[in-house]
Amino acid sequence: MKSYKIKKHMLIIALTSLLVAGCTEKSSSGGSSNNDDTSSSDTGNNGGGSTPPTANNCSGTSADGQGDGYSILDYNLEMAGGQTWVPGGPTAPTLYDASLFWKSDSKFKIRFKIKPQPIPRAGEVYCHGRETGQTADRYRYTKLKFRISLRDIKCDDNPKGPDPNKCQSGFKLGEIYYSQTIGPLSENTCSAVIDLSNKRNSTTYGTVIQVDEVKSDSACQAGYKDDYYCPAERHVRKASCWNMTLQVSTDYTQDFK
């Protein structure tokens, strides 16, 4: 999240001035990426949905953008099995920061890059939420499968003060209203661009991505080959870690290459 911290000061100034002025300038992105996923279907709260094809020509960093605007946002997700990554939670941006950086009137696209499985030493926490009483997976995963969900940022109480678009009491997350299963994706490869522009609600404070239900093919590497375990059907163990990069493109950032 180094690039996120570096851009934070300049982006807050730019976004704040736009919001106070009451107008939103959309960046000239040069059109949609050729890798955009156009086949996913709205699944509500039930999960599922089609899986975007892979696009292996990305670095997983902010350097993967093109066109006008700030660099695309990138986040390193590294958690133990059974953990959920979502803004406002551990190792993720605060809801206040997400309300600034992820706010967008039209464009809301994301992409993931799967990173090799970390192997912590015995007794070492290493990734958030890891149970240290057991050893990590002996056989590292080569694929991950996971669920993404949309949740809106809401004001903890009705906005007060002269500007109804400013939340004075703090933020909270709304309920999940759209979910989609991604993968299996092989390590060191990227998903295609996932266009959620027409899936998210039109909100005052922005929409965030939640990542959970992370499964892997570690058991397949250990010799289990039936569909109970493979291609990536078992949740990552609480004693093990998973790692991926999330990239986000909004009205204020570049589009994906």
8 has pLDDT over 70: no
Domain map (residue ranges) of the chain: 2-256
- Where does the pLDDT of residue 33 fall: very low under 50, low under 70, confident under 90, or very high at 90 and above? very low
Residues 111-117, mean pLDDT to the nearest whole number: 96
Lowest mean pLDDT segment, chosen from 12-16, 20-24, 52-56, 111-115 = 20-24
Tell me the pLDDT band of 162, cut-offs 50, 70 and 90: low
pLDDT for 42 beyond 50: no
Q: Give the mean model confidence (pLDDT) for residues 220-229.
A: 85
Most confident of 39-48, 79-88, 124-133, 151-160: 79-88
Q: Average pLDDT for residues 133-161, to the nearest whole number?
A: 85
State the DSSP code for 181: E
